[in-house]
Structure 1
Amino acid sequence: MNGQTILLISDMRQVYLAEILTKKGMSVRCLDIRNSQTVEEQLLKLKKFLAGAAMLVLPIPVTKVPEQERLNEILNKNLANDTLVLGGCFTEEQRELLDRRGIRYLDFMEDEVVTQENAVATAEGAIAELTNHSPYNIEGAKILVTGYGNCGKAIAKKLRGLGARVTVLARRREVRKQAKEDGFYAVDFAFGPEEAMGAAMLVNTVPAPVVTRVIIKELPRDAYILDIASKPGGTDFACAKEFGIRADLVLGIPGKYAPKESAYILERSMERFAAKQKSIDR
């Protein structure tokens, strides 16, 4: 990958990524947007440096950039046509903008390799959150895992490995079948209220309102709900508060618990994307 790579630093993942890329001999420019008071200054620098950029790496999610309208304006007016853009969870407006301009871009969260590798870091971080906030041990505890995608599957398997009694709630029959083949007790959300009885913890991975009042009201009052789904999550947080149950929406777990490993995951994805674009240009 020749030319300058611009990184918008929103967490330690980008810090380590800059270190990795620099050690590989790449020209890297970092713009730190973690301080809200200096974001405008950093975006002005982005506007200035974009003309010579080969790659632009945005945060995961891209919405971590506080000034979204300003970012979109810069992408529209100052981004060179041949600059490769990478980030996580682009908004629909950003996708339309990049498509309209013919800019080649990669959403890290749509790279299947990234999501599978990130699921491991997410699962380990989720267990750390459960350990920190639940009054119960994981071993022997009844724990509900809602959703059985990459993250749900990884979390359920690691919890089982720690001795938890895991129940998977999933909407689609084929997903429940897969969970059962993996050795889990799996049911439809219609049975959620029944399964909630006696559960010490609940981990939601579904980015839709699935942990609703009918489930929450059946949980013990000392249960802990961890929601790791995309904002705003899939839990009725107001209802949980009403029943005195702690419920946390925790996003960006890989960047919090395994930032360097996550940085290597992103670097490999960048390499694959750049190689693919290079082969297309030949």
Structure 2
Amino acid sequence: MLTGTQVLVLGGDARQLEVIRKLSELDASVMLSGFDGLLTPLEGAIHVELRDDVLERIDVLILPVVGTDDDGEVTAVFSDRALKLLDEHVSKLQKHCKVYTGMAKPYLRHLCENHGIRLIELLDRDDVAIYNSIPTAEGAVMMAIQNTDITIHGSVCIVLGLGRTGYTLARTLQGLGAKVKMGVRREEHYARAFEMGFKPFYIKDLMHESGNIDLLFNTIPTMIVTAQIIAKMPARAVIIDLASKPGGTDFRFAEKRGIKALLAPGLPGIVAPKTAGRILADCLSRLISDDIRQRGDGQ
């Protein structure tokens, strides 16, 4: 239980609703800022302004999956008002307060570092990333179906990157009957892809592998699907880039070449916000409980 723990949820989308419900069920004192447009009130949570007296007493600050932009603006889909996290806000936090987000841009990292506040990026965790790979893979398949006139079964697909998302996506495509080619950089990933029944190749050979494909899925957040690669792809091919913005594809050249290329970061929150929210909620509740226990042991 989280009885007595003061939590402020600052902005977010539908995923945060699941987080709020979970923490309220565990008896945390949950305060909300940036949710004034909610049509249905959330039981056990109260709405507050981002004031000093609120910030000075919280134990946990929860931000959206992308914590802030480069100017401190916080996404708040349930509010029409602009919401910003500023230096003056973080300076009011107690030193034991922890800030949780999915991924942090340099702005947020610098704020927390400057004031000695610990920042936890949930998407860096293997458990969260692996759970999130499930709705990501399903969303990628949905996009492929919507943007092609062929079945996944029998299609020739390239998946770039045998990381947590690439692994789940390649296995999902394989289960639907696709012929999956896996682009990797490391020898152990080549061996694992071979063991799983994919056709592995090294990414340095991507140009030679992209001449006769239907779908290319990229999970690597660096420019990897270059103009030279796209020039070799058949006109029918579709690129679905799952890497974080700006992705790893030359979208300008793809458009010039007439190849459909889609940037699709953050699919869990789009295609399955309830599931994605529960993943975050379960992880957050465990981390906060562990922190409370450790602080109690240290007293």
TM-score, normalised to structure 1's length? 0.89
Deviation at 1:147, TM superposition (A): 0.7
Which range moves more in the overlay, 72-81 or 199-208? 72-81
Per the alignment, residue 52 of structure 1 pairs with: 57
Q: Which moved more, 1:208-217 or 1:15-24?
A: 15-24
Structure-1 separation of matches of 2:35 and 2:257: 38
Determine if contact 1:9/1:34 at 8 Å carries over to the other structure: no
Bigger shift: residues 16-25 or 51-60? 16-25
Deviations 1:204-229 (A, max 9, x none): 00011111112111112121111110
User: Is residue 133 of structure 2 the alignment partner of residue 119 of structure 1?
Assistant: yes
Partner residue, 1:8? 10
In the TM superposition, 1:77-156 aligns within 5 A as 77-156=91-170
Per the alignment, residue 38 of structure 1 pairs with: none
CA separation of 1:72 and 1:178: change in aligned 2, threshold 3 A: farther
Deviation at 1:72, TM superposition (A): 3.9
Sequence identity (%): 31
Cα distance change of structure 1 residues 74 and 231 upon mapping to structure 2, 3 Å threshold? farther
How far apart, in 2, do the equivalents of 1:223 and 1:47 lie? 52
CA distance in 2, matches of 1:196, 1:272: 44
* Equivalent in the alignment of 2:238: 224
For residue 9 of structure 1, report the CA deviation from its aligned partner. 3.1
Q: Deviations over 1:58-98 (max 9, x none)?
A: 11111359744952424432222222210011123432432
CA contact (8 A) 1:168 1:187 kept: yes
Aligned-pair Cα RMSD in Å: 2.3
Which structure shows the bigger proportion of residues in helix conformation?
1
TM-score, with structure 2 as normaliser: 0.84
Q: CA deviation at 1:51?
A: 1.9
Instruction: Work out which of the residue numbers 191, 195, 216 in structure 2 matches 1:177.
Output: 191
The unaligned stretches of length 5 or more in structure 1 are 36-43
For structure 2, the 5+ residue unaligned runs are 38-47, 75-83
Identify the residue that residue 28 of structure 1 maps to in structure 2. 30
Which residue type is aligned with residue 176 of structure 2? L
Q: Quick one: which amino acid aligns to residue 10 of structure 1?
A: G
* d(CA) in 2 for partners of 1:187, 1:202: 14
